[in-house]
Amino acid sequence: MKLSREEQAMLAGERGTAVQIAMRILTTMGRVFGARRLIPIESAHIDGCLYHGDSGIDFAQKLVDGGAKTVVPTTLNVGAIDLLHPEHFQGTAVQAQKATRLMQLYQQMGCSPIWTCAPYQVEQRPLTGQQIAWAESNAIVFANSVLGACTNRYGDFIDICAAITGRAPEYGLHLPENRRGQIVFHLHNIPDRLRHADVLYPVLGYLIGSRAANKIPVITGLPASSSEDQLKALGAAAASSGAVALFHAVGITPEAPTLDTALHGRPPEAEITVTVDDLKAMRGHLSTVADGPIDVVALGSPHFSLAEFEQLLPILRQFPPAIEFIVCTHRLVLAALQKRGWLSELKELGVAVVVDTCVVVTPIVRARGGTLMTNSGKFAHYTPGNIGFSVIFGSLEECVRSAAQGQVWRDEGLWEN
């Protein structure tokens, strides 16, 4: 790997111990992936601030002790505790202390404490074509696909190394030729109501991820009006069921004005037709138990936006929940809810609004086992393995109306051919 003089100085320890450690890790990873050089990045997003064990604290402490400071704008993903509402945490005092300690260490390195998996909703967003080093699967796929920025699937420890050196190995999705669409998914005869419904996007994303694996999918047939929240849900689900880091939606995302452009003028490796029956089957796959009684509803993975709260509140007013109801979001939305008077109304309706974290990465749910219902493909994917609940997937309205009666309510007409 060819390094510049400045990078050689970093590797030699002339910029401090932490930078030397980070550069050693980045160059080793670069060699593994066949990168010829490192490239400057414009921003970083850090997933390593989520407490999984003491090794995470040890690594962050070593960087802090070595004088680590971020050199590009760097945001923080969720931690393992809601720092504003610690009463939501259902773990032990030791777990809470360690989770908080890790979050503090990353702040000491100069990272912005936004604590969200949706940094594209909060901070100044990267521009199309900019090189970045983002971690957290949904943030990665949104940045690549919807914003047109360039990042690989970075994870814990690599993310902060990029942030304190301002560099990333040049390979994979940092290179234009590797961003070509490979598998085309054609939506076929999807009813107009379903094609525009929010619930389509996580189901379609989950189907695409399961069939595309680590290939780059191209989607035809989505409406041009597809919102960022809908594309967010699609990407998050695709990155959960598969290793999708970039998708192209023809006529919608910046690198796919046409199908030919998304494919870089070459034929696709495969083409898959998606029917209503395919989507109904995948919707069923997102649930692990049959419709019946539920114990908790959880929304907000990725974090709920203000627009999503605007959709939620009118339904809640008509159908207030009778069971535990949790919505995960970030601090900017929390402030907007307070300003509009919606936060107090949500609390009166029995909704717990959680920030800084989410229910599948830390103990928040008060129910001790049972069935969780969600409209999030990502929550549906991770709930059984992470927190041991059975899961039922449904639309936003289905989740709210089910919470009001304590058992699943369905709008079956939505999925009719």
Chain center to CA of 412: 28
pLDDT value at residue 206: 98
| Res 153 pLDDT > 80 | yes
| Res 416 pLDDT > 90 | no
| Res 404 pLDDT > 90 | yes
Distances (CA, A) of 72 to 43, 60, 188, 355: 5, 18, 44, 25
Distance between CA atoms of residues 362 and 98, nearest Å = 12
Q: What is the residue whose two structure tokens read 């402490």?
A: 61
The whole-number average pLDDT for the span 71-99 is 96
pLDDT tens sequence across 184-200? 999 999 999 999 999 99
pLDDT tens sequence across 162-185? 999 999 999 999 999 999 999 999
| Res 83 pLDDT > 90 | yes
What percentage of the chain has pLDDT greater than the value 70?
A: 100
pLDDT tens sequence across 113-124? 999 999 999 878
Distance between CA atoms of residues 368 and 262, nearest Å = 47
Provide the residue count of the chain.
417
pLDDT tens sequence across 311-324? 999 999 999 999 99
| Res 417 pLDDT > 80 | no
Q: Terminus-to-terminus CA distance in the chain, angstroms?
A: 55
**Would you place residue 395 in the very low, low, confident or very high pLDDT band (cuts 50, 70, 90)?**
very high
The whole-number average pLDDT for the span 86-97 is 95
The whole-number average pLDDT for the span 257-265 is 98
| Res 338 pLDDT > 90 | yes
Phi, psi of 181 (to 5 degrees): -65, 145
pLDDT value at residue 94: 96
Q: Which CATH superfamily is domain 287-406 in?
A: Aconitase, domain 3 (3.30.499.10)
**Would you place residue 340 in the very low, low, confident or very high pLDDT band (cuts 50, 70, 90)?**
very high
Return left, alpha or beta for 137; rule: phi > 0 is left, psi -120 to 50 is alpha, else beta: alpha
pLDDT value at residue 124: 87
CATH classification code of 5-176:
3.30.499.10
pLDDT value at residue 123: 74
**Would you place residue 412 in the very low, low, confident or very high pLDDT band (cuts 50, 70, 90)?**
confident
The whole-number average pLDDT for the span 35-45 is 98
The whole-number average pLDDT for the span 28-43 is 97
* pTM greater than 0.75: yes
pLDDT value at residue 322: 98
